[in-house]
Amino acid sequence: MRFNSSNLKGADAGFILIFAIAVCLLLAVIGLIAGRSVQSALRETRTAVDIAQARALADGGVALGVARVQSDGDLEPVVCALPGAGAVAVSITDEAGKVPLNTDNRALLLAFFSGLGASRDEAQTAVARIFDYRDADDVAQSGGAEREAYAAAGLSFRPKNGDFESVAELDRVLGLAAAIRDRAKPHLTTAVTAGGVDGAVAADALLQLIANGAGAGGFSSAFGDRPDLPAAFSARSTRTFYRVRSIGMVEGARYVRETVIARPQRPGETLRHISWMQGELNANDEALLARGASAPPC
Ligand SMILES: [Ca+2]
């Protein structure tokens, strides 16, 4: 058979052309991927910078909140902007307006858990388990749970037999329904150990749910729909413990800083931060975040 050199040259040329096109396509794809990687890296860097700036703003906002507390200033939320740097939203709450998780007032805790939607039996169980978790003995109350019950449930931890140090510690109490526990947390405090709640600084929602949980029979309503707490559930604020919650906003980045402070009560005392942690955004923040876009200068 005769070899056709012209056909071979044509085939070679075709192959080289296809190879060249393939190389070009490959280079184009590599270039595209590299370009996107650079863009992606730039975006990530930008986001990281925004988050760092939002965090710095949030921490600066804490200083603004602390200054308000120390000067007995207005405790209404503040939203203000640092031109070119973003905005900050600061809210301050007196912890005396929450239910003390370490309170000895069993009736208050019963009304509170009932108001959150627990049945009377579920509320009594929840309160018994909270007391068992805290009290020094290992003898379970009616409906409660001590060491044996925790071991039988296969838990690696046991009741603390000491006061709660944080509201998050509620997760370590055996047998609390997760839904009730999560609804309870925003209304609880470990900063204050009192026999009641100061209705003057409590959120409307908390007063309403305690009223609902207590059957509302003993409540008057001197201030419209805002229930008054009965004396058995009340304690005056010592105006010492405040939660300062500060949200830094930079472009799309948000950072939440939460701290509980103890205000000096005597000359020579200094302000103490009892806790300092990263917080999380919640549904109530939407109104504050919306104000960030057109906030006045700080
Ligand atoms: Ca105990």
Q: Which residue has the higher pLDDT, 7 or 262?
A: 262
- How much is the pLDDT for 178? 92
Distance 90 CA to ligand 1 centre (A): 39
Residue 243 · residue 93 · CB < 8 Å: yes
Superfamily per CATH, domain 99-196+199-233: EpsJ-like (1.10.40.60)
- How much is the pLDDT for 17? 73
User: How high does pLDDT run on average in the chain?
Assistant: 89
pLDDT in tens, 141-165: 999 999 999 999 999 999 999 999 9
Query: Residue written as tokens 């991927």?
Result: 33
pLDDT in tens, 5-59: 555 556 666 767 777 777 777 777 777 777 778 888 878 888 899 999 999 999 9
- How much is the pLDDT for 103? 97
Residue 258 banded pLDDT, cuts 50, 70, 90: very high
Query: How large is the angle between the packed helices 120-134 and 106-115, nearest 10 degrees?
Result: 130
Span 105-125, average pLDDT: 94
Distance 276 CA to ligand 1 centre (A): 29
User: Percent of the chain having pLDDT more than 70?
Assistant: 91
- How much is the pLDDT for 218? 45
Query: Residue written as tokens 């942690």?
Result: 277
Distance 135 CA to ligand 1 centre (A): 4
CA distance 77 to 86: 17
- How much is the pLDDT for 219? 52
Residue 217 banded pLDDT, cuts 50, 70, 90: very low
Distance 139 CA to ligand 1 centre (A): 7
CA distance 122 to 98: 21
Distance 163 CA to ligand 1 centre (A): 10
Distance 158 CA to ligand 1 centre (A): 9
Q: Residue 186: is its pLDDT beyond 60?
A: yes
- How much is the pLDDT for 242? 97
Span 259-266, average pLDDT: 93
Q: Residue 191: is its pLDDT beyond 70?
A: yes
- How much is the pLDDT for 3? 47
Distance 180 CA to ligand 1 centre (A): 22
Question: Residue 21: what are its φ and ψ, rounded to 5°?
Answer: -65, -40
Tokens of 16: 């080289």
Span 118-134, average pLDDT: 95
Q: Report pTM.
A: 0.79
- How much is the pLDDT for 227? 75
Structure-derived torsion over alpha carbons of residues 260, 265, 271, 275, reported in degrees to the nearest 10 = -20
Residue 108 banded pLDDT, cuts 50, 70, 90: very high
Domain residue spans of the chain: 1-98+236-298, 99-196+199-233
Distance 156 CA to ligand 1 centre (A): 16
Supply the DSSP string of the chain, one letter for each residue: ----HHHHHHHHHHHHHHHHHHHHHHHHHHHHHHHHHHHHHHHHHHHHHHHHHHHHHHHHHHHHHHHHHHTT---S-EEEEETTTEEEEEEEEEGGGSEETT---HHHHHHHHHHTT--HHHHHHHHHHHHHHHSSS--PPTT---HHHHHHTT-S----SS--SSGGGGGGSTT--HHHHHHHGGGEESS---SSB-TTTS-HHHHHHHHHHTTSTT---TBTTBPPPPGGGB----S-EEEEEEEEEETTEEEEEEEEEE---STT---EEEEEEE----GGGHHHHHHHTTPPB-
Least confident of 1-10, 29-38, 179-188, 263-272: 1-10
Measured CA to CA in angstroms, residue 171 lies from 14, 97, 130, 137, 282 at distances of 71, 22, 11, 20, 19
Tokens of 246: 């500060």
Query: Residue written as tokens 């992606």?
Result: 40
Burial class (CB in 10 A: 0-12, 13-18, 19+), 275: middle
CA distance 146 to 159: 6
Q: How many CB atoms lie within 10 A of CB 122?
A: 18
Distance 146 CA to ligand 1 centre (A): 6
Highest mean pLDDT among 42-56, 100-114, 198-212, 269-283 belongs to 100-114
Distance of CA 141 to the CA centre of its chain: 32
Distance 140 CA to ligand 1 centre (A): 7
Distance 179 CA to ligand 1 centre (A): 24
